[in-house]
Chains A and B, each alone.
Chain A
Amino acid sequence: MQSKLSLGPVLFNWSPEQWRDFYFQVADEAPVDTVYIGEVICSKRAPLFEPVLEEVVTRLTEAGKQLIFSTLSETASAVDRRLVERTASADEFFIEANDASALEYLEGKPHAIGPHINTFNEESLEFFAENGAKIISLSPEIPKQGIKELAGFAEKLDIELEVQIYGRMGLALSARCYSARAHNRTKDTCQFICDKDLDGMVIETMEGRPFLAINGIQTMSYSCLNLAGEISELQNMGIPRYRISPHSIGTIETCKTFRDLLDGKTSPEKAVEEMKQNTIDAPFSNGFYHDKSGYDWQQA
């Protein structure tokens, strides 16, 4: 079976126009099978792109993409809860749950479990399968051996496992908004200041070493995950799905490169060189996969 390529949801607060145009370009040019959309980070942002949502859905559907709606990754306030309910109970769509709050709405109907829900072992995998999960996206923190073990169980349970292969990694979520905090604001008074940072706001150590990237309540890696060198190993384990997390630069080209890599039409070395020319200003990393620090990079 051909490996499937997915595009994760846009995690950043792009303007509705940029968001719409990005998905139009995905529909027209990106060789991806599945596209996730929806606000995963902050319920305050969700209304911003609603005016353009319908045309994006239409365009992606017409392009033959499988559409999956992702739910919020952290649910605390009444607004959060309403957003999760509204997204998760939309019967006409395939839903990806990113927090246990969404699971009740999805029980018994085919759905996806997102990378913000911990699926680390076979017991969790079986539980989610029993309750209707068909696709499970793994946390980028899981090392090779864990992925390999999970892949063996997933096949028997008719679950398609998905592994993030590219993009900044979500490392933590908080109740507090750190984009607002950097501007002496709070989550309630933020005035959507996170829209200044298209790929996250870089945090450096006091010694000037770039370390993390802030995206509202989410803290991400500064480095950009890139599993180009690990693709064939993942394919040999039987992983059917590969997920790219979008950035404001080079995402469409990155999709093409990974498509070629999955099809054996290019080499990891060449792919990495190509991607280096057209990506966010951050080094690549693949440390978690190799059971090392997440920022670590083992050359393909």
Chain B
Amino acid sequence: MTEPFKPELVCPAGTPASLRTAVDAGADAIYCGFQGPTNARNFPGLNFTPEEMEQSARYAQDHGAKILAAINSFPTAGRTDIWKSAIDDAVRIGVDAIIVADIGMARYLHRDHPDQRIHLSVQAGASSPEAINYYCKHFDVKRVVLPRILTVAEIKQVHDAIPCEIEAFVFGNIGMMAEGRCALSSYATGISTNLDGACSAAHCVHYNEDEQGNMTTRLGEFAIDRYSRNESAGYPVICKGRYNSEHKTEYYAFEEPVSLNLTRLLPDLIKAGVTALKIEGRQRSRAYIRNVVSAFRQTVDAYAAGEDPDITDLLALTEGHRQNEGAFRSKTWK
């Protein structure tokens, strides 16, 4: 009997310390970005200087893990030099792959650094075999990070029709909108997810408490949620806020504040041909990274050994928080 395929576990790191934590906890690959607008998690206190990226790459590679540089936001004309120099730095450092989203930056990377391995970011929004094949043909993309809008059955179809590997999100915070093409936050704040790498930029988020202890969350001038003292609330983003329409009031017009947890679907995803399992959360603490990565390490190893893993630890990680399987399980989510 052939051994079940063992997928790569791809884990986030927002700081060099988190990266070491993820490596030590058993990550096969770590993804991270440079400071500034070149990646989709441009938050204060997060991300790497070129020197930190270099030292972190050595640490990861010396411990048998890969390092993937996310340069996956979209430069406007006149600002491309910042992105190009980030790409040049990542190549010089010797990262194992660069994750890009912008078609122009994919072109630059493939043209000027043809030997560099390219992964297509989820921010590129390539959701069909036709789109993925197009990027593979032009830029020799080796892996696509799939948008979180496909069912497992659709992932299988995509896998059978493309020449590159598939990386799929399995755990963490999921946005509801097609990645790389969402201007909601920009509409409310002027800070752009696509162009500046920041959705719901922290300095635009405000909390107001009323006399009864109810909290209103604002993004720029817009109230995007209101909740009572006993309700738990995640980081405020437009697509997980509550609104009124003429048909419903105070409802989650887009999605409830849930996080993604595909632990139960892992065997199906692996069968569907997913090469790498991705955990979201470059903004998360080291303790969180350690817990999630270790739990996934054990689970993936158990599945690969043909065992039925104990997934209570993984499920417990989101206990008290709402979780679901998003679009992955069935079309009824849509």
Is residue A211 within 8 Å, beta carbon to beta carbon, of the partner chain? yes
Q: How far is the CB of A76 from chain B (nearest CB, A)?
A: 5
With a cutoff of 8 Å between Cβ atoms, the chain A residues found around residue B78 in the complex are 145-146, 149
The answer to whether A120 and B131 touch across the interface, beta carbons within 8 angstroms, is no
The answer to whether B246 and A122 touch across the interface, beta carbons within 8 angstroms, is no
Q: A196-207 toward B: CB 8 Å interface, digit per residue (1/0)? A: 000001111111
Closest to B187 in A: A294
The answer to whether A100 and B134 touch across the interface, beta carbons within 8 angstroms, is yes
Q: How far is the CB of A225 from chain B (nearest CB, A)?
A: 11
Interface pick from A53-61, A175-183, A250-258, A264-272: A175-183
Which residues of A (172-192) have their CB < 8 Å from a CB of B?
Answer: 172-178, 181-183, 186-188
Interface pick from A2-10, A14-22, A33-41, A136-144: A136-144
With a cutoff of 8 Å between Cβ atoms, the chain A residues found around residue B223 in the complex are 205-207, 209
Q: How far is the CB of A202 from chain B (nearest CB, A)?
A: 7
Q: B159-191 toward A: CB 8 Å interface, digit per residue (1/0)? A: 000000000000000001110111110111110
Task: Give Cα A125 to B74, complex, Å.
Answer: 13
The answer to whether A206 and B243 touch across the interface, beta carbons within 8 angstroms, is yes
Q: A265-300 toward B: CB 8 Å interface, digit per residue (1/0)? A: 000000000000000000000011001111110000
Knowing A146-B78, A293-B187 touch, does A141 contact B192 (C-beta < 8 A)?
Answer: yes
With a cutoff of 8 Å between Cβ atoms, the chain B residues found around residue A116 in the complex are 181
With a cutoff of 8 Å between Cβ atoms, the chain B residues found around residue A75 in the complex are 127-128, 130-131
With a cutoff of 8 Å between Cβ atoms, the chain A residues found around residue B183 in the complex are 139-141, 169, 171-172, 288, 294
Knowing A101-B128, A139-B183 touch, does A204 contact B77 (C-beta < 8 A)?
Answer: no
The answer to whether B247 and A214 touch across the interface, beta carbons within 8 angstroms, is no
With a cutoff of 8 Å between Cβ atoms, the chain B residues found around residue A100 in the complex are 103, 124-126, 130-131, 134-135
Which residues of A (206-248) have their CB < 8 Å from a CB of B?
Answer: 206-209, 211-212, 214, 219, 221
Q: How far is the CB of A287 from chain B (nearest CB, A)?
A: 7
The answer to whether A120 and B244 touch across the interface, beta carbons within 8 angstroms, is no
**Range of interface residues on A (Cβ < 8 Å):** 35 or more
The answer to whether B254 and A206 touch across the interface, beta carbons within 8 angstroms, is no
The answer to whether B187 and A171 touch across the interface, beta carbons within 8 angstroms, is yes
Knowing A126-B107, A174-B176 touch, does A182 contact B253 (C-beta < 8 A)?
Answer: yes
Task: Give Cα A207 to B239, complex, Å.
Answer: 17
Partner of B130, one of A84, A150, A176: A84
With a cutoff of 8 Å between Cβ atoms, the chain B residues found around residue A126 in the complex are 104, 107
Which residues of A (68-110) have their CB < 8 Å from a CB of B?
Answer: 74-78, 80-81, 84-85, 99-105
Partner of A141, one of B75, B104, B194: B194
A-B contact count (CB 8 A): 232
With a cutoff of 8 Å between Cβ atoms, the chain A residues found around residue B50 in the complex are none
The answer to whether B334 and A122 touch across the interface, beta carbons within 8 angstroms, is no
The answer to whether A288 and B222 touch across the interface, beta carbons within 8 angstroms, is no
Is residue A66 within 8 Å, beta carbon to beta carbon, of the partner chain? no
Task: Give Cα A172 to B186, complex, Å.
Answer: 11
Knowing A74-B127, A201-B245, A219-B184 touch, does A172 contact B226 (C-beta < 8 A)?
Answer: no
Q: How far is the CB of A223 from chain B (nearest CB, A)?
A: 9
The answer to whether B104 and A121 touch across the interface, beta carbons within 8 angstroms, is yes
The answer to whether A121 and B186 touch across the interface, beta carbons within 8 angstroms, is no
Which residues of B (113-155) have their CB < 8 Å from a CB of A?
Answer: 124-131, 133-135, 137-138, 147, 149-150, 154
The answer to whether A172 and B76 touch across the interface, beta carbons within 8 angstroms, is no
With a cutoff of 8 Å between Cβ atoms, the chain B residues found around residue A142 in the complex are 76
Task: Give Cα A208 to B180, complex, Å.
Answer: 29
Is residue A153 within 8 Å, beta carbon to beta carbon, of the partner chain? yes
Name which of A175, A287, A296 has the most chain B CB atoms within 10 A of its CB. Answer: A175
Knowing A116-B181, A206-B226, A288-B186 touch, does A174 contact B254 (C-beta < 8 A)?
Answer: yes
Partner of A175, one of B137, B221, B225, B334: B334
Task: Give Cα A172 to B187, complex, Å.
Answer: 10
The answer to whether B245 and A175 touch across the interface, beta carbons within 8 angstroms, is no
Which residues of B (271-286) have their CB < 8 Å from a CB of A?
Answer: none
With a cutoff of 8 Å between Cβ atoms, the chain B residues found around residue A85 in the complex are 130
Task: Give Cα A141 to B189, complex, Å.
Answer: 12
Is residue B105 within 8 Å, beta carbon to beta carbon, of the partner chain? yes
Partner of A173, one of B74, B79, B177, B246: B177
Task: Give Cα A172 to B180, complex, Å.
Answer: 9
The answer to whether A124 and B102 touch across the interface, beta carbons within 8 angstroms, is yes
The answer to whether B177 and A120 touch across the interface, beta carbons within 8 angstroms, is no
Partner of B188, one of A105, A125, A175, A295: A295
Closest to B192 in A: A141
The answer to whether B188 and A178 touch across the interface, beta carbons within 8 angstroms, is no
Task: Give Cα A261 to B171, complex, Å.
Answer: 52
With a cutoff of 8 Å between Cβ atoms, the chain A residues found around residue B246 in the complex are 201-202
Is residue B331 within 8 Å, beta carbon to beta carbon, of the partner chain? yes
Show 11 residue pairs from A and B whose CB-CB distance is below 8 angstroms, ordered by the A residue: A120-B77, A121-B77, A123-B80, A128-B103, A172-B183, A175-B150, A188-B334, A202-B245, A219-B254, A292-B190, A293-B190
Q: Sort A-B residue pairs by CB-CB distance and give the 9 closest, nearest first.
A: A123-B104, A175-B149, A124-B104, A149-B77, A294-B187, A146-B76, A100-B131, A172-B177, A149-B78
Residues on B facing A (Cβ under 8 Å)? 74-80, 102-105, 107-108, 124-131, 133-135, 137-138, 147, 149-150, 154, 157, 176-178, 180-184, 186-190, 192, 194-195, 216, 220-226, 239, 242-248, 250-251, 253-255, 327, 331-334
Task: Taking A100-B124, A120-B194, A127-B138 as given, write out 19 further A-B residue pairs in contact, using a Cβ cutoff of 8 Å, ordered by the A residue number.
Answer: A101-B131, A101-B134, A102-B130, A104-B137, A105-B130, A116-B181, A118-B103, A121-B104, A141-B192, A150-B77, A182-B251, A187-B334, A206-B223, A206-B243, A209-B221, A293-B187, A293-B190, A295-B188, A296-B190
